[in-house]
Amino acid sequence: MTINQNELLSAFVDGELQGDEFEQALQIVTTNEQARTQLQRYQLVSDVLQGHTLGNQYVDLTSQISAALVDEPVFTQASTTNKKSQVIPFPKQFWKQATGLAVAASVGALAVMGVMTQPQNQLIPVTPVAAIDTPVVTVAQAGNRWTVGEPEVEHRLDTYLLDHNEYAGASGVFSYARVVSYDAGR
Amino acid sequence: MSVDLELVQRVQAGDKKAFDVLILKYQQRIVHVITGFVHDPVEALDVAQEAFIKAYRAIPNFRGDSAFYTWLYRIAINTAKNHLTARARRPPAMDVDAMDATNFYDAPELKEFETPESSLMSDELEQAIHRAIQDLPEDTATAIQLREFDGMSYEEIAQAMDCPIGTVRSRIFRARDAIDKQIQEIMGEGEQQ
């Protein structure tokens, strides 16, 4: 083995080879047993100086592991690429459903905004169903309170309004922030 | 591209021998790390071997998002922990970052498996290396020290020492060659034990 080869191995240990020299070093190491032993000693010195060894365990596991790997498959670039393509894509159906949901949410939001921008104290009559003879229930909003004849309905509407005020628009963000800080402070 | 990534890509492309080089490069470190968990040196070698085999099997999934050693280190730690669990022994509660592993294993309780002979051997090797460095010409000693102790690249050493990169490479090689001559005798004794 020439001195030049050892210098190549020394630079290989340091990860300082590129291009042809890298190829050359790799070729030497994988085909020349003496070069492999030399590389191992250079690596050992480096490991000792950097504190990566313990006791007298100057081990060489390469032959044992190589023997154990004999029956293992040899990878190909295709097998590596195939692994990448194993990522499960979203089904096309998902995008259709997501689009439908987005449209429905937009319509819902517009409807809520429409209700919120109604003038105060405007009466919203609930039209009676013609086939059923039920009394007409009228609901009116005054400020943040609803006036309605039935307490159960009034309570439910109050709850809806509170929930809406909490989550809708910019004010919803602050309400949420208050909840978070309250929880955090407990 | 780093040497490790280049080697990994070769393994991924079907070059099994490139994996031998990765084993050769990291086997001391991995055995060192595993020995911190599995205190029996013979068991540690088996676990290290298992860890490298697992790494080979998983290498098609390695994409280079982290350094190869960090990835390998994780596999080694998990293999060691699984080994301890299988043996109904409790793995250490604490976990250690790959970068801190060296300091971690300086802990006295993790060195308890060391025999007086192995400790003496280790000291002897270290002393021989340091003696060899002391006997080197100043510029050669400085180059190897900057490389091994400060982890500088050849380019950084060239800037620090105000010389061409080729000179740095040659100085580091001369230092390693001198150290190698000193340790060959000790290594021969160690292998016979």
Q: Which two tokens stand for residue A31?
A: 């085909």
Q: pLDDT tens digit string along A22-61?
A: 999 999 998 999 999 999 999 989 988 888 876 655 778 8
In a domain, A151, yes or no: yes
Domain annotation covers residue A5? yes
User: Which tokens is A118 given?
Assistant: 């109604």
Residue A121 has pLDDT above 80, yes or no: no
Which residues are A139's β-sheet partners? A124
H-state helical runs in chain A = 3-13, 19-31, 33-49, 62-68, 77-85, 92-116, 151-167, 169-185
Looking at domain B114-193, which of 1.10.10.10, 3.90.550.10, 1.10.730.10, 3.40.50.300 is its CATH number?
Answer: 1.10.10.10
Is the ipTM of this structure higher than 0.95?
no
Q: What residues 90-149 of chain B have any CB closer than 8 A to a CB of chain A?
A: 102, 105-106, 111, 113-115, 117-119, 121-122, 125-126, 129, 147-149
Is there a domain that residue A98 lies in? Answer: no
- Would you call A147 helix, strand, or coil by DSSP? strand
Question: Residues A42, A13: contact at Cβ < 8 Å?
Answer: yes
The answer on pLDDT for B136 being more than 50 is yes
Min mean pLDDT across A84-98, A122-136, B112-126 is at: A122-136
Domain layout of chain B by residue ranges = 1-113, 114-193
Q: How many domains does chain A have?
A: 2
- A15, A40, A45 member nearest B129 (Cβ): A45
**Across A55-59, A167-171, B26-30, least confident range:** A167-171
**Quick one: average pLDDT of B158-184?**
95
Distance spanning both ends of chain B, measured CA to CA = 40
The angle at the Cα of A137, spanning A134 to A140, to the nearest 5 degrees, equals 170
The model carries a pTM of 0.63
**Domain range enclosing A17:** 1-55
* pLDDT given for residue A136 in this prediction: 57
User: Quick check: helix, strand or coil at residue A178?
Assistant: helix
Q: Do domains B1-113 and B114-193 have the same CATH topology?
A: no
Contact flag B53-A64 (C-beta cutoff 8 Å): no
Interface subset of A 61-120, CB within 8 angstroms of B: 61-62, 64-66, 68-69, 72, 74-77, 79-80, 83
The reply to whether A84 falls in a domain is: no
CA–CA min distance B159, chain A (Å): 16
Would the CB atoms of A10 and B169 count as touching at under 8 Å? yes
* CATH fit for domain B1-113, picks 1.25.40.10, 1.10.1740.10, 3.40.50.2300, 1.10.540.10: 1.10.1740.10
Confidence of residue A1 (pLDDT cuts 50, 70, 90): low
Weakest mean pLDDT among A143-147, A179-183, B45-49: A179-183
- The answer to whether the Cβ–Cβ distance between A58 and B41 falls below 8 Å is no
Quick check: is A63 in a domain?
no
